[in-house]
Amino acid sequence: MAKYVIIGNSTAAIGCVEGIRSVDADGEIVLVSSEKHHTYSRPLISYLLEGKTDEERMKYRPDSFYADQRVTAKLGVEATKVDAEEKTVTLESGETISYEKLLVATGSTPFIPPMQGLETVKKAFTFMSLDDARALEGALTPESRVLIIGAGLIGLKCAEGIAERVQSITVVDMADRVLPSILDETGSDIVRAHLEKHGMTFYLNDTVASFDGNHAALKSGTALDFDVLVIAVGVRPAMSLVKEAGGEVRRGIAADNTGRTTLPDVFAAGDCAESFDISAGMNRVLALLPNAYMQGHTAGVNMAGGTASFENAIPMNAIGFMGLHIITAGTYDGETYTAKDGENYKILFYKDDLLKGYILIGNVARAGIYTALIRSRTPLSSIDFDLICEKPQLMAFTSSARRDLLSRKQ
């Protein structure tokens, strides 16, 4: 019997391996992944296309990782069923693997909405994995006119990654602004204008009504010709294994702050699972690499008989587009402090004597102080909040608060 089985091979799965090994140096670990690749960092696929990295540097851990951690890695093999009563995982080959503790870290899958005539498009791609990036790269030429459906994080990072390799990029989204999940209107306008300066064209508040080969008809009546289509409208947590096994799922797999699901000895972590967002006071899927790792590590420690809890999850994004830096965190609720100077933009959200969230564009220096305020739930009345708004610095805190924040950073 394999003592530990992990389904997945990305950030949460690697965190789980390392969490298990921090407690149990000898227990058997079997890792199953539908992708055939060594573990790699998914957010880097746009940089791969841009030429800023290569597949070797994308690896999340060294080549020797599985051997060093004594992990039996079954790569390129899909898990099709979890039997929580028999405590087995069935693979696509029909093989079954028994477990004592199981982690489901299946991540998310691209959402492809129904679009009339989509089957007539010969060069259509999603942009979630290394294989997606390889396939898209093979279809691009300097003359390619690329149509991207989706002006969110995935769509815009794809656009940035291929911008210097194609003739044109057109982005369509039914939302009224770019990056609608993380930016307000002012921030979105700044980012959109910045990308337009780099040659991108946007059709917002619009969507594709139908495709006919390399022709797209928008609901607004606009007709667009293209050579390559990228569908990046969003993702869905891959939670069917737990759902079909009888476990509770909501927007993601229901898991507590130890990683446990409602199924006995089954844990979940990463983009397929919910976390408790302390900034919003609710359970939600936080599809972020640091959260995925900490969820996975926490689950691994508990699977191995240790004690760990992940209790300070918040939504956070640190990204850049064509040299314009953006950091966002928390929830956008309450009163606001705003400052804008050209492409530099800051908005802080505060409520009930707590900083709840922020958006920084352009000048993102010392954003960590704002993040620490959210995570530590520091009462704003205990610091010089006016100074913090204008210039985030530790001198705005009391000496005891400075010691606490510095210890948290360590």
Which residues face 36 on adjacent strands?
none
Given this model, what pLDDT does residue 410 score? Answer: 41
Region 343-358 average pLDDT: 96
pLDDT band at 211 (very low <50, low <70, confident <90, very high): very high
Q: What is the per-residue pLDDT across 151-173, written as a single tens digit (0 to 9) for each? A: 999 999 999 999 999 999 999 99
The angle at the Cα of 126, spanning 123 to 130, to the nearest 5 degrees, equals 110
pTM: 0.92
Torsion, CA 49, CA 53, CA 56, CA 59, rounded to 10: -90
Token pair in block for residue 219: 């609901």
Please check whether residue 264 is in contact with residue 142, taking contact to mean a CB–CB distance below 8 angstroms: no
Please check whether residue 253 is in contact with residue 247, taking contact to mean a CB–CB distance below 8 angstroms: yes
Q: What is the per-residue pLDDT across 79-117, written as a single tens digit (0 to 9) for each? A: 999 999 999 999 999 999 999 999 999 999 999 999 999
Residue 250, helix vs strand vs coil: coil
pLDDT band at 392 (very low <50, low <70, confident <90, very high): confident
Using the structure block, give the residue that is written with the tokens 């420690």.
301
Query: How many angstroms separate the CA atoms of 346 and 340, rounded?
Result: 6
State the chain's mean pLDDT as an integer. Answer: 93
Query: How many angstroms separate the CA atoms of 322 and 70, rounded?
Result: 41
Query: How many angstroms separate the CA atoms of 14 and 63, rounded?
Result: 13
Query: How many angstroms separate the CA atoms of 36 and 256, rounded?
Result: 30
Cβ-proximal residues to 38 (8 Å cutoff; 6+ apart), any chain: 59, 61, 63, 65, 75
**Structural domains of the chain in order of their starting residue, each with its CATH number:** 2-109+236-303 (3.50.50.60), 112-233 (3.50.50.60), 323-409 (3.30.390.30)
